[in-house]
Amino acid sequence: MPAFIFDLDGTLVDTVYQHVVTWHTALRKNGFDLPMWRIHRKIGMSGRLLMSALELELGRSIGEDTAKALENAHTEEMKKMRDSVQVFAGVGDLLETLRKADVPYAIASSGSKKDIGAFLEMLDLPDGVPAVTQEDAKNAKPDPQLFLKAAEKLGVKAEDAIVVGDSVWDMLAARRAHCLGVGLLTGGYAESEMTAAGAYRVYPEPADLRARLHEVGVNIKEN
Amino acid sequence: MPAFIFDLDGTLVDTVYQHVVTWHTALRKNGFDLPMWRIHRKIGMSGRLLMSALELELGRSIGEDTAKALENAHTEEMKKMRDSVQVFAGVGDLLETLRKADVPYAIASSGSKKDIGAFLEMLDLPDGVPAVTQEDAKNAKPDPQLFLKAAEKLGVKAEDAIVVGDSVWDMLAARRAHCLGVGLLTGGYAESEMTAAGAYRVYPEPADLRARLHEVGVNIKEN
């Protein structure tokens, strides 16, 4: 039986578009202009890699102090949008189905404990579900470390883990960790982008994955 | 020489992501929950078609009063985000290049005059550039009426017009109007989605179209 590793932002909680507009605001407050769609395609990267990607787009370097200011501004702006964040429909059912079938699962997020705490709480996870964050890996996604750490905490080989994510960075990190990548459309990527990034299957939302668990090799006996 | 018909929101001004989060807020305020990515993929439709699409997603009907309340709430929320809206880099250069080369162009938006007025002003268009809005067509995009009307105002046959847009609805309406569709990535669609919807070429942003005008058959002599 495989195990599951779930990305959090954009996969279990609907936060990608808030991240886009809040990064846009944080950047503008610090004097950087970047179109929204370019920010969108970078959400889900680790903060440090995001800064390097922004430097490339902007054609100038972002110092350590500015990087810190940007991250703080983003955190502040996200707090203002907290009320708009919802858990995707079907997440509770999906996780409960896995629990009943004794299929272990973990959460693996590029975010910091501080930033994702409120979202984790919204999931109301049972005791013992590992949640791996930025603090647990030197390099976050698309580096494979986060997923390898999550597999380790689950006590399974990475090869036996199914990574569920909404961004191409999840799929890239899954591939590098030798996990099976499964994509969702909840992050606003096209199915073709997720497939090109290595997704074995792409489902619209968590509820659709729940309905098709057999397609990823999980034998759930419906009752 | 062909003529150009430009979509406005998401094509010349960076507004798609603001539309996504403000529709999300407007919907929630009226008791409707819809994930952000599903709203994203509907931006650029006419308001009336959007309501029908929402009804389909929600599995229940939206009355005339509620539709009106939703549209008003969306307009109000967009006003709050006005400061975050910017014209895409390169738009001024693109339009100026066309003007100098005597290539006529028009703006065609599914929005109402009231909603898009401020964005049109940001473009600082020369006198005589036709701007076709919701009020000029019984059915907005993806119905071809808006683009046909714009071609008429430009005094060209629709077959000689190049429609530049950021959403699949622009490409569908262009195809139905027998215009040539050219896509931009500024709306957050993947290139593959734009191509599948009929885009003859897809460029990242207006500046890239400006640099490759020859690819759409426009002979600009650089000086």
A88 shares contact with chain B (CB less than 8 Å): yes
Residue A108, min C-alpha distance to chain B (Å): 21
pLDDT tens digits in sequence order for chain A, 223 residues long: 799 999 999 999 999 999 999 999 999 999 999 999 999 999 988 778 888 888 998 888 989 999 999 999 999 999 999 999 999 999 999 999 999 999 999 999 988 888 899 999 999 999 999 999 989 988 878 899 999 999 999 999 999 999 999 999 999 999 999 999 999 999 999 999 999 999 999 999 999 999 999 999 998 877 5
Summarize the confidence of residues B55-69 as an average pLDDT. Answer: 90
How many residues are given for chain A?
223
ipTM: 0.95
3-class secondary-structure state, position B40 = helix
β-sheet bridge partners, residue B130: none
Question: What residues of chain A lie within 8 A of the CB of B84, using their CB?
Answer: 21, 24-25, 28
Nearest by CB to residue A190, choosing from B16, B28, B189, is B189
Instruction: Find the residue in A nearest to B24 (Cα).
Output: A84
Residue B56, min C-alpha distance to chain A (Å): 16
Residue B7 half-sphere exposure toward CB, CA atoms < 13 A: 35
**Which tokens is B76 given?**
């109000």
CA distance A154 to A136: 14
Sign of CA dihedral A74, A77, A82, A87: negative
The amino acid occupying position A153 is K
Residue B39, min C-alpha distance to chain A (Å): 10
B35 shares contact with chain A (CB less than 8 Å): yes
Interface contact flag, B86 A33, Cβ < 8 Å: yes
| pLDDT digit string, tens, across residues B150-175 | 999 999 999 999 999 999 999 999 99
Q: According to the model, what pLDDT value does residue B219 have?
A: 86
Rounded alpha-carbon distances, angstroms, from residue A110 to A43, A55, A85, A143, B64: 10, 20, 18, 10, 44
Interface contact flag, B21 A25, Cβ < 8 Å: no
Interface contact flag, B193 A192, Cβ < 8 Å: yes
CA distance A33 to A201: 35
Residue A190, min C-alpha distance to chain B (Å): 6
Q: Comparing C-alpha atoms, which of B95, B181, B166, B176 is closest to residue B137?
A: B176
* pTM metric for this prediction: 0.95
Q: Report residue B50's pLDDT band, with 50, 70 and 90 as the boundaries.
A: confident
Instruction: Find the residue in A nearest to B16 (Cα).
Output: A36
Q: Compute φ and ψ for A5, nearest 5 degrees.
A: -125, 115
DSSP state letters, A149-195? HHHHHHTS-GGGEEEEESSHHHHHHHHHTTPEEEEESTTS--HHHHH
* Chain B stretch 175-194, residues whose beta carbon is closer than 8 A to a beta carbon of chain A: 185-190, 192-193
Q: Which residues contact A163 (CB under 8 A, 6 or more apart)?
A: A4, A5, A6, A7, A108, A147, A170, A171, A173, A174, A177, A179, A180, A181, A182
CA distance A46 to A144: 11
**Which tokens is B131 given?**
């701007």
Q: According to the model, what pLDDT value does residue A221 have?
A: 77
